[in-house]
Chain A
């Protein structure tokens, strides 16, 4: 290797003394250190007059300019892929949703119409799927956050084998929707499934039912299974949040004589709002993507009682080849995601996290 990383370290102090500038172009040798190292200003010879400051900004902007040019090959190819597949595809989808394309022919982009969107309110299966999506989105997110918070607080009690417990609670996230759908359709089987067998074993026979066969419990059963899969995610986010709270806050609450429950409710949980927000956004996106799970459990004709927009979109577009209508449903999904994510990203941007 002709380029030794240790040499870079060795060079640092020399540069900061202000005599390593010969490799750069400008005549003002003394102030070049200021742009390349953190303490350059104090260590360089005291030629700091107003004129050198302007030279410095000049130099900085020239460096920045060369950085800009040099950075292009690194971010441009990935940006083209992202631009093409994300933004190009979303725009194209919007365009398709404005046509009346269906069947095997090619779409015609000449005669654009909002018909696909105006027919939505009158389509009972769309209304049902929309309602289910909203219910799933909110119920799943709230339940998963609550379960995740409880898990995080339990795991945070200085317990032994903490790693093992955490690993097990997070394990379902490593599995694919296909695998978890297979597990849960077995769990919910009315005669041989674990849920009903356990219920009748502990004497709750009257609660046993065909959880996913019955339209009244189907959505709740899906939410329950999804919570099993993703509550570990909320736990991990909350654990990071809990660990960031200084011990002094716990101690202050203890000194004030607060019970453990009161301490968490009044002192600790209110400080977890940032964790709650970011976990909620990601969980909602998971819920919008829960296609695979429902698709494997029910195929693409689940009936209205558990139909969500993600599944309906696939059925409408790919099974019934009503491409334009499918694209319009997809746009609705996109707007739902955007309405959750855009405020979140803006908030992060304002906080300076970007």
Chain B
């Protein structure tokens, strides 16, 4: 080893130890804490995922958070869980998508009518909308059930057997649309309030109608807020169990949370199947959350 080589290595060592000294101890503690919290927040998901790949004996014999050994590895829980929840997945998609779009659209129209077209008394109506955001759904369940049985949607739809069979899901669509309007209105209103009025006034001078202004100026400009509202509403409606319990009675119309609840009840000790089902049911919202995290956060804080 030559002298120059040795001194070069010494120099490197010096620099390294110097930078280590600079490395704040508090910083290390901070990152340790953050990573520990990550472990805490992810442990149910990680545990669920590993459990879903273990055989029944596998998850009893292994530590809960350990990944499955080849001996206990299986994908069978996923197949079994999918068989149980697949009908629910399809039903959920068919009502969640229209309810999401309708509530966002109606919320945006309401916000436009209550913000950009100004008139006295609009704040009063807004407060009525806002209060709807905080409504505990328990306080409307009995009337809701009475209302829909009084309407008798199924007999109205008798002309189209395909729709009549799915009357439960149509009721669910309308109900979720109605209860989604308040939060969507608030989201769009907070957005419209920051929007410049000059363009709208100029369009008025141009003779554009109120609807024309909405269609050609407001709607295109509110697309970012539509992303927020659609993501928020999709997550909320997809995840709801309560309204489905009250309104969906036909088994073939069960939505995904209902079929997951059934799975949980019927396979009470088979955690691997339950976990696989939970992941299948949660996949759409997890994907949306990971891809659109910023819009998701904006949506959930919109009401505050």
Interface residues of A (CB under 8 A from B): 1, 3, 5, 7-9, 11-12, 15, 20, 23-24, 36-38, 64-65, 67-68, 70-79, 81-90, 92-93, 96, 107, 151, 154-155, 157, 159, 163, 165-187, 189, 192-194, 197, 228, 232-233, 236-237, 240, 278-279, 281-282, 285, 288-289, 291-292, 295-296, 299, 309-310, 313-314, 317-318, 323, 326-327, 329-331, 333-334, 336-337, 340-342, 345, 349, 354
Contact = CB atoms under 8 A, between A and B. Distances in A.
A341 B134 contact: yes
B30 A175 contact: no
Interface in B107-129: 107, 109-110, 112-114, 117-120, 122-123, 125-129
A56 B287 CA distance: 54
B59 A192 contact: yes
B173 interface: no
23 contacts: A8-B203, A9-B199, A72-B113, A74-B110, A74-B114, A78-B106, A89-B140, A90-B135, A90-B143, A151-B37, A163-B293, A169-B37, A178-B257, A183-B45, A183-B275, A184-B44, A189-B271, A295-B261, A313-B138, A318-B141, A330-B142, A354-B127, A354-B130
Contacts of A310: 136, 138
Contacts of A299: 265
B138 A333 contact: yes
B236 to A, nearest CB: 9
A20 B205 contact: yes
B246 interface: yes
Contacts of A92: 143, 146-147
8 shortest interchain CB distances as A-B pairs = A74-B113, A176-B239, A75-B113, A68-B119, A71-B117, A278-B304, A334-B139, A174-B289
Contacts, number: 337
B97 interface: no
A178 B261 contact: yes
Given A82-B181, A93-B143, A179-B281, A345 B265 contact: no
Contacts of B109: 74-75, 77-78
Interface in B1-39: 30-31, 33-34, 37-38
Contact of A334 (B43, B51, B136): B136
A11 B274 CA distance: 62
Most interface-central of A79, A310, A318, A329 (chain B CB within 10 A)? A79
B214 interface: yes
B303 to A, nearest CB: 6
Given A75-B109, A167-B290, A180-B44, A326 B206 contact: no
Interface string B151-192: 000000000000000000000000101110110010000000
Nearest to A185: B264
Contacts of B90: none
B274 A64 contact: no
A279 B217 CA distance: 34
B44 to A, nearest CB: 4
A96 B274 contact: no
A233 to B, nearest CB: 6
B260 interface: yes
B229 interface: no
A168 B38 contact: yes
B208 interface: yes
A165 B106 contact: no
B288 interface: yes
A103 to B, nearest CB: 13
B132 interface: yes
Given A3-B216, A240-B301, A85 B64 contact: no
Q: Name the residue in A173, A178, A285, A327 with the highest tally of chain B Cβ atoms < 10 Å from its Cβ.
A: A178
Contacts of B216: 1, 3, 5
Given A154-B34, A292-B240, A299-B265, 20 more contacts: A3-B216, A8-B202, A64-B120, A70-B210, A73-B113, A78-B106, A78-B107, A81-B177, A86-B135, A86-B140, A90-B140, A169-B37, A176-B240, A192-B59, A197-B64, A228-B40, A240-B301, A310-B138, A333-B136, A337-B134
Contact of B132 (A9, A86, A157, A327): A86
Contacts of B242: 291-292, 314
Given A169-B37, A333-B138, A11 B143 contact: no
B142 A36 contact: no
B85 to A, nearest CB: 11
